[in-house]
Amino acid sequence: MAETHSLQDLRQQPAVAAKVFLQRDYTHGTMCQFQTKFPSELETRIDKQQFEETVRTLNNLYTEAEKLGSQSLIEGCLACLTAYTVFLCMETHYEKVLKKIAKFIQEQNDKIYAPRGLLLTDPIERGLRVIEVTIFEDRSLTR
Amino acid sequence: MSAVMITRKVRKWEKLPGKNTFCCDGRVMMARQKGVFYLTLFLIVGTCALFFAFECPYLAIHLSPTIPFFAALLFLFVIAMLLRTSFSDPGVLPRALPEEATFIEMEIEAANGNVPAGQRPPPRIRNVQINNQIVKLKYCYTCKIFRPPRASHCSICDNCVDRFDHHCPWVGNCVGKRNYRYFYLFTTSLSLLTIYIFTFDIVHVVMREYPDGLISRNRHVQRVLVCFFTLWSVVGLTGFHTYLISLNQTTNEDIKGSWSGKNRVQNPYSHKNIFKNCCEVLCGPTYPSVLDRRGLMQDDMPVSATPAAPSSSSLSSSNPVPQTTVRSHTRTHTHTEPLHTLPLKWIEAAKHRIAMTVSIGGQRGLLFSVIHVVIWMWSHLVAFLLIEQIDS
């Protein structure tokens, strides 16, 4: 997300045409899930199935992060017994999955979205509220 | 025309809106008013210091050395939980960036349709269905977002907090999704510590013979009484939060009566099973902070003769002052003021406290705030008596 002010870079960076925000889906409670509804602005840029597949995978990853399983229970009990000092040296399960998510989004951007002039922003940078999809102008896609 | 821009890297916490204060280069995050938090620390550390200094030597010799050992363990756990609650991010939701805010506004306008001129537009509410119940999401005009379910805007910290429970002046921070379990563990362990000290206080009073006669015995009884009153406050609070956890409710929802009453929606977040509710709240995943306080960002500072060049990434009016220079006011009611003015100050502060809580909680908040003030006054009494003991 770093932006430099060198004029050369500004010329090379494609202009942003629009931004679309995918909202959270609260039908199953306060768990982190995003709506898989395909936004109309992206119809000309990307296949609907592809996009919904990305969002669905993200949702599955977030479910994995927030799962109330035996691992999170053990982690919680161990942390409580050590007065949560164990987190000074250990990463929480949620943080590990967040790293996975960041890698997944990077991969998707490189392989699928960047060639189509789109950019997915990791939801953690928007407070886990929205998935921001930046649509770049068409003229920058000349290859 | 030719303004030279100096770009420097700053930590994101320096540019966060809201009324929080940050310490240790963004690692610690608290509310602005920290006076009551210092009082809490003083009460806990002071009482325990007196216990360790005056009673543990006798108890260790005449009963068992494990007594001070477990007291020390409990004390350390209480302090760890207090600091964890006070210093961590309660689950603050970052404000919407301009593009997101505009996008939401456009959606609202599209949903409202054409409002005839002169008429007030309808309130900004979004209905969502959660577990087959309709829940209304309110729009936050400060943060420019539709608040997620269970989130609320804390007017003291000027932030939207996820799963907002309440703003606790005792810990000097909001209690929300990320630090609620530490807050609960703090009140529980503090109850246990108070009961422990109270019990051994009584044992000590009963066992010991007083060569000084009535004077030192009275002082001891005084300390027992003080422990007794503090015990009821803290144990009561722990009981209240245990009740809330078993129903998977927040203090905010309980005060506002969100899920009570026949015509109201039933709590859609409860698993209808006490054990499951407790598991979710206490043993759930440790949510990460979405604020990224210590991340780096570019800050553009124009360096030119014309002073009025606002740069987009710096300065909103409610920016916190960088932490190296801030030392917030601490309301010290103790040695520095003449004792006879203390009751007046307490009454003024109590009035302010009631007004604040009622404005947040409404009518039901009045009862809550009365209890809150009574607990608060007792704690001042505790402090007062402890100081008198040290002085005399």
**pLDDT digit string (tens) for B28-70?**
999 999 999 999 998 889 888 888 888 888 888 888 899 999 9
Contact B290 A3 (CB under 8 A): no
Question: Does residue A3 lie within any of the structural domains?
Answer: no
| Band (B333; pLDDT cuts 50, 70, 90) | very low
Contact A19 B80 (CB under 8 A): no
For residue B293, what is the nearest residue in chain A, using CA coordinates? A125
Contact B130 A132 (CB under 8 A): no
pLDDT of residue B379 exceeding 70, the answer is no
pLDDT digits (tens, 9 = 90+) for B334-371: 344 455 555 666 666 666 665 565 554 444 445 555 55
Contact A129 B298 (CB under 8 A): no
For B241, B317, B349, the CA distances from B323, given in Å and listed in that order, are: 33, 17, 27
B168 is catalytic: yes
Q: B110 with B100: CB under 8 angstroms?
A: no
| Band (B184; pLDDT cuts 50, 70, 90) | very high
pLDDT digits (tens, 9 = 90+) for A101-138: 999 999 999 999 999 899 999 999 999 999 999 998 87
Per the model's pLDDT, the better-predicted residue between A52 and B217 turns out to be A52
Question: Does residue A95 lie within any of the structural domains?
Answer: yes
Contact A30 B150 (CB under 8 A): yes
Please count the other Cβ atoms lying within 10 Å of the Cβ belonging to residue B340: 7
Question: Does residue A8 lie within any of the structural domains?
Answer: no
Please count the other Cβ atoms lying within 10 Å of the Cβ belonging to residue B117: 5
The distance of B100 to chain A (nearest Cα, Å) reads 7
Is beta strand B296-303 parallel, antiparallel or unpaired with respect to B125-130?
Answer: unpaired
- Tell me: ipTM over 0.95: no
- Taking the mean position of all CA atoms in its chain, how far away is CA B39? 14
Question: Does residue A56 lie within any of the structural domains?
Answer: yes
pLDDT digits (tens, 9 = 90+) for A86-106: 888 888 889 999 999 999 999
The distance of B115 to chain A (nearest Cα, Å) reads 25
CA distance B392 to B387: 8
Considering the candidates B143, B160, B168, B227, report the single residue annotated as catalytic. B168
Chain A neighbors of B279, CB-CB under 8 A: 68, 73
Question: Does residue A7 lie within any of the structural domains?
Answer: no
For chain B, the residue count is: 392
pLDDT of residue B329 exceeding 50, the answer is no
Question: Does residue A108 lie within any of the structural domains?
Answer: yes
Total number of domains in chain A: 1
Q: Where are the domains of chain B?
A: 18-90+173-295
Question: Does residue A4 lie within any of the structural domains?
Answer: no
Q: A135 with A45: CB under 8 angstroms?
A: yes
CA distance A78 to B196: 24
In degrees rounded to 5, what are phi and psi of residue B301?
-115, 115
Q: Domain containing A77: what range?
A: 15-136
Tell me whether B73 touches chain A (CB under 8 Å). no
